Amino acid sequence: MLRETGSAQAALADASFQELCRRAYRFMLLARLAEDKLASLYRAGKIHGGVFLGRGQEALSVAGAMALRPGDIYAPLIRDAAGRLAFGEPLIDLFRTYLGSRLGPMRGRDGNVHRGDPRRGYLAMISHLGAMIAVVNGALFARRYRGQTGVVGLASLGDGGTSTGAFHEGINQAAVERLPLVLVIANNQYAYSTPTSRQFACKDLADKAPGYGVEAHRVDGTDLLACLTCLHEAVSRARAGGGPQLVVAQLLRLSGHGEHDDGAYMDPRLRELPLGRDCLPLAEKQLLQRGYVTTEELHRWRSEAQQTVESTAARVQQEPAPDPLLEDWCALSCRDMAEAPHGWESLAPGAKPGALV
Amino acid sequence: MSITYLEAIRAAQARALAEDPRVFIYGQDVGAFGGAFKATKNLAREFPGRVIDAPISEDAIVGFAVGAAIEGLRPIVEMQFADFSSVAFNQIVNQAATLYWRTGVPCPIVIRLPSGGTSGSGPFHSQSLEAVYAHFPGLVVVTPATVEDAYSLLLESVALDDPVIFCEHKFLYYHLKADSLPTEALPLGKARIAREGRDLTVVAYSAMVHEALAAAEELQAEGWELEVVDLRSVKPLDTDTVMASVARTGRLLCVGEAWPWGGVTAEVVARVVSEGLSLLDAPPQRLNAKDTPIPYHPNLWAAHRPTARTIAVAARQLLQL
């Protein structure tokens, strides 16, 4: 059942593959530059809470989202800025959510990587790892229930997330229901500070797939062309009725867990391995070698992307913050089911109980 | 013809399935087997493809329901026992309960929890978890005490656009009977005066309503008139009806089958004291289960939870204060 993927030869014959690679690279680049900007805003103290980068994981992330079609379900995780952009998230939503703009999709109620547009199949992750898999399953079930075929749902996870009960329950559930789920594991060698040796004892995470009756794919997560080919194949098989697909990519987290973390615990020798390569310059090299782009184009794209990032960040920094006085402080959509505030809870936000005395 | 509390739950689900094509049922053994308590008996046959057996994966069951709800369906999840919902705790309190507030997308799911103690069920098939779920914003927690409410509140829960924890009491499943299904009902969120009285208010919900009514009957022989308030839902909690009752009686006893620390009875007392201290002629009292896991043996079990007898004892003491 295991599918070794890594060769892009078959797909290379297709002229549209060139265009796919060019678009994919531009999303990777935009994500990288946007996240570099986030890191600098973080260092400048402009961001509340943490900043979590997908540096080194852009190729895998973008490949997953680009294998999807409009109408598919997408459940990205913390290191998926590139995939989010490729799935159609406006860049401004990234900055608005990190900076807590009132105009953002989460309105300051949730931040950083916790953003989405569930009505359009773009699920907003919770922090608990593995928890989005079953949600994708349910969304896929709903599509099938309504008679809609040819839909795929893709969920992202890391090596650490595979240790959760939710991962086991979710992938097993997808297999039992034979749902078109593509579960992409970015094995970036660390879950926060914990190396894979303290996370699992199997030789390869892809080996878990047959135990669930699920097809497995292995891919070099640093290689954009390999990722595009592999994810295209996995998504196609799910779409064609092949049941859930588990994709396991080898790569390295090229940052700390978040920007508060320098990753000093990471083994420097990993950087010397093929999995330690930075996917972005590697993709540039691949695209140039194949004649898919020119050096001039790369320069122009970078400068355009940089300008977009700077102007978007500048615009969002001018936007209004959420106002507690304008909040309805109601967690229910049915307002008549919400309890009236009682006691001193009814005080205006920001007021001190002492004001009554 | 008479109908039991359990049959009312089955009938409500049958009606929801019949009237709304978005409704489906998902849970362990709910399909051809009809559920551990037969609350979905024959429904899989009557509604093919809409009553679906799940693997023993409570977390994934609720996550699945949330995903289906996002896509516009209205899932009813049957937990085999309320106790096992702790395995789904993350999906309930972090996924389902936060979805609307975070994203603006409502989460219309109903999670049925066969709740409460029955003799011989022990620590892991007897729990009452309404207080745990009521603690979390974004959830509605319903606790029907009557056949009529089991039916009408379940239908109302399915129609609601928010996640509902539906605590149905196993002790009432077979014993409690009504002549027919209701044609009209109090709305969800309104408490009910189950018995009128002038001397003392007993606030209860779920199976404890019947224990309270039996205690009221016992005290009537002694000349006391107990008023029994059935909360029907613990969240929203109908504080107005409770306060109005306390204003009439001046005395408050709150009874819950759940554990004593915090919880529904503590919440009721806190609200009455902070907003209606002057209405009280005596310190308000609470009666809950003992602060241990729920015992197996009938002798221990009967002594663990409040009963008509202990409610009567507590009421007599409170009436002397």
Residue range(s) of every CATH 3.40.50.970 domain in chain B: 3-178
- Cis-peptide, bond into residue B236, ω within 30° of zero: yes
CATH 3.40.50.920 fits B192-320, yes or no: yes
Domains of chain A, earliest start first = 2-322 (3.40.50.970)
Q: Residue A216 forms beta bridges with which residues? A: A2, A246
Q: Spell out which residues of chain A touch residue B90, defining contact as CB-CB under 8 Å.
A: 128, 131, 166
Instruction: Express as a percent the part of chain A with pLDDT over 70.
Output: 92
Residue range(s) of every CATH 3.40.50.920 domain in chain B: 192-320
Tell me the residue type at B303.
A
Subunit contact A334:B160, Cβ cutoff 8 A: yes
**Does B169 participate in catalysis according to the annotation?**
no
Q: What does the alpha-carbon distance between residue A143 and residue B218 come to, in Å, rounded to a whole number?
A: 56
Could you list the pLDDT tens digit for every one of the 321 residues in chain B?
A: 799 999 999 999 999 999 999 999 999 999 999 999 999 999 999 999 999 999 999 999 999 999 999 999 999 999 999 999 999 999 999 999 999 999 999 999 999 999 998 889 999 999 999 999 999 999 999 999 999 999 999 999 999 999 999 999 999 999 999 999 999 999 999 999 999 999 999 999 999 999 999 999 999 999 999 999 999 999 999 999 999 999 999 999 999 999 999 999 999 999 999 999 999 999 999 999 999 999 999 999 999 999 999 999 999 999 999
Q: What does the alpha-carbon distance between residue B153 and residue B151 come to, in Å, rounded to a whole number?
A: 6
Does the beta carbon of B85 lie under 8 angstroms from any beta carbon of chain A? no
- Select from A331, A240, A282, A350 the least CA-distant residue to A57: A282
CA-to-CA dists, residue B53 to A153, A329, B13, B19, B108, angstroms: 22, 37, 16, 22, 20
Residue A118 phi, psi dihedral angles, 5° rounding: -55, -30
**CB A302: neighbour CB atoms within 10 A?**
16
Q: Spell out which residues of chain B touch residue A181, defining contact as CB-CB under 8 Å.
A: none
- Name the residue facing B63 among A138, A145, A337 (closest C-beta): A138
B 262-291 near A (Cβ less than 8 A): 270-271, 274-275
Could you list the pLDDT tens digit for every one of the 357 residues in chain A?
A: 345 444 444 545 577 999 999 999 999 999 999 999 999 999 999 999 999 999 999 999 999 999 999 999 999 999 999 999 999 999 999 999 999 999 999 999 999 999 999 999 999 999 999 999 999 999 999 999 999 999 999 999 999 999 999 999 999 999 999 999 999 999 999 999 999 999 999 999 999 999 999 999 999 999 999 999 999 999 999 999 999 999 999 999 999 999 999 999 999 999 999 999 999 999 999 999 999 999 999 999 999 999 999 999 999 999 999 999 999 999 999 999 998 777 676 665 555 544 443
Q: pLDDT tens across A68-84, in order?
A: 999 999 999 999 999 99
Does the beta carbon of B74 lie under 8 angstroms from any beta carbon of chain A? no
Subunit contact A138:B137, Cβ cutoff 8 A: no
Encode B196-240 in three state secondary structure: CCCCEEEEECCCHHHHHHHHHHHHHCCCCCEEEEECCEEECCCHH
Strand order across the B200-204 sheet: B192-195, B226-230, B200-204, B252-255, B285-287
Subunit contact A145:B189, Cβ cutoff 8 A: no
Question: What per-residue confidence (pLDDT) applies to B117?
Answer: 87
Domain covering B3-178 in this structure, CATH number: 3.40.50.970
- Select from B155, B114, B263, B136 the least CA-distant residue to B203: B263
